[in-house]
Amino acid sequence: MFSYRHAFHAGNHADVLKHATLVAVLQHLTLKEGALSVVDTHAGAGLYKLDSNSATTSAEAEFGIKALLAHISKHGKASAPALLSAYVGMLRQFNGGKDIKMYPGSPIIAAELLRTQDRVMAFEVHPTDHRLLRTTLEQATSRAKLLMDRKDGFEGIRSLLPPVSRRGLVVCDPSYELKTDYAEVLNMTVEALRRFATGSMLIWYPLVGRPEAHDLPRKLKNAVAKAGKSWLHATLQVRAGAAGQGTGGGLGASGVFVVNPPHTLKAQMQEALPYLVEALGQDTHAAFKLESHGN
């Protein structure tokens, strides 16, 4: 049985990096009229209360979204790069223009930004989070069609590619509780590129002291380049030290890897990442990395 619950981590620095990137990718993909299909292989519960016991116990959002909001408020809205303004704007709108108390996870961010012609297919295996996700999706006011399944996302995606619409985004955000998740992510990417070479993918991974974590981006770069496709890779480190150390608790660094990224994404990230280092950095080890190929 898996023990990971995203409620303890919602709105942390890793979510900020992942979800700000997701918003930018979705905003670009929805510029074209054609229907878009989003597959979220590891969806989580969908919606998180930032004042819940889980969130306040871990206090990870304090060093993530709350630190970003405080930084923007201190330096003025005009100081925030476009990619981060769009992300924060989406969160504010989701909270009815008021304080950000409810934090939407990846399937709900997609549900918010998609249109009538679009659809989201979300996979979540944890029994409690699956139940919560079902309720959240049922109550969502999205214009898009929202579907879910309590199935292994690595397995479930197989029958969904290529989407009928031939326009799609795969969001792959495992908890990496199993060491095998790293190999599964790579295999899924290779298979997805084989079935749907023009689709975009957003993969998140933790930068922890496991060789698999450091090998994953290298292997992804090779696989995507071999398929003749473009990629973008960004990492955000907020402090030195391994997971569980330091004032911010939890993870110290993570990365996003985007396959077939929008051509606008690199410039947006180039502007946003130094701002995130300033806003979320906890010590002098705070840093970012941005690299891309074929875009």
- Residues annotated as catalytic (active site), given as ranges: 173
278 binds ligand SAM, rule: CB under 6 A = no
User: Could you tell me the strand order of the sheet in which 231-237 lies?
Assistant: 145-149, 119-123, 37-40, 168-172, 200-206, 253-259, 231-237, 287-293
Between residue 162 and residue 191, which ones bind ligand SAM under the rule CB under 6 A? 173-175
Single out the residue of 87, 154, 182, 231 in contact with ligand SAM (rule: CB under 6 A): 154
Which of 220, 285, 293 minimizes the C-alpha distance to 255?
Answer: 220
Nearest distance in Å: CB 156, ligand SAM: 7
Nearer to ligand SAM, 40 or 118 (CB): 40
Contact 260, 199 (CB under 8 A): yes
Between residue 91 and residue 150, which ones bind ligand SAM under the rule CB under 6 A? 105-106, 123-126, 129
Nearest distance in Å: CB 76, ligand SAM: 29
153 binds ligand SAM, rule: CB under 6 A = yes
Write the binding mask 31 to 50 for ligand SAM: x where contact by CB under 6 A, - elsewhere.
Answer: -----------xxx------
79 binds ligand SAM, rule: CB under 6 A = no
215 binds ligand SAM, rule: CB under 6 A = no
13 binds ligand SAM, rule: CB under 6 A = no
Tell me which residues touch ligand SAM (CB under 6 A).
2, 4, 6, 18, 42-44, 105-106, 123-126, 129, 152-154, 173-175
